[in-house]
Amino acid sequence: MAEELEDLGRRVARRFIVRGVASRPSHLAGEMGVQVTYEQSPPAAQPRLRSEYRADPPRILLYRDPIEELAAAIHADQRFDMMRCDLAEVHIAHELFHHLESGGRFGPLTAEEVEAAAHGFAQELMALDFHPAEFSRLLG
Ligand SMILES: [Zn+2]
């Protein structure tokens, strides 16, 4: 099931890849009227939250401290595949799927299913060689 949903995310991402060139997630967010803002730290209840999507008005919040913690873990682990990617853009891509999905546009999905699809979307749009869920595993 998770695999089917990752495929759904990938298919949606392909709408934004024209002749092999993917739109930059931050650019897409602007086009879709989704504001992207940075904050230093996440809400106290979710200290490891790196990003989130909020509707009304649609916006993506990126949290610098946990993203920097991830960057440090990537370097410590010498994950050269991950070092090549723009972490902020990967997180914006993931949250953009939440925006596209908001209102249940792809049918009724559980939170886990939406996560799987959002990972597939980000992986395809950013042409990642690794699965985005590996970020969380890297942090232990
Ligand atoms: Zn998510």
Are 62 and 96 in contact, with CB atoms under 8 Å apart?
no
Domain tally, the chain: 1
CA of 98 to the centre of ligand 1 (A): 7
Place of tokens 């869920």: 133
pLDDT digit string, tens, across residues 6-51: 999 999 999 999 999 999 999 999 999 999 999 999 999 999 999 9
pTM of the model: 0.96
CA of 121 to the centre of ligand 1 (A): 11
Please name the helix (run of DSSP H) or strand (run of DSSP E) that holds residue 48, with its range, or none: none
pLDDT-derived band of residue 66, with 50, 70 and 90 as boundaries? Answer: very high
CA of 101 to the centre of ligand 1 (A): 11
Amino acid in position 99: H
Are 70 and 49 in contact, with CB atoms under 8 Å apart?
no
CA of 4 to the centre of ligand 1 (A): 17
Are 137 and 127 in contact, with CB atoms under 8 Å apart?
no
Phi-psi region of 81 (alpha: psi -120 to 50; beta: other; left: phi over 0): alpha
CA of 80 to the centre of ligand 1 (A): 24
pLDDT at 2: 79
CA of 18 to the centre of ligand 1 (A): 25
Percentage of the residues of the chain whose pLDDT score is greater than 70: 99
pLDDT-derived band of residue 140, with 50, 70 and 90 as boundaries? Answer: confident
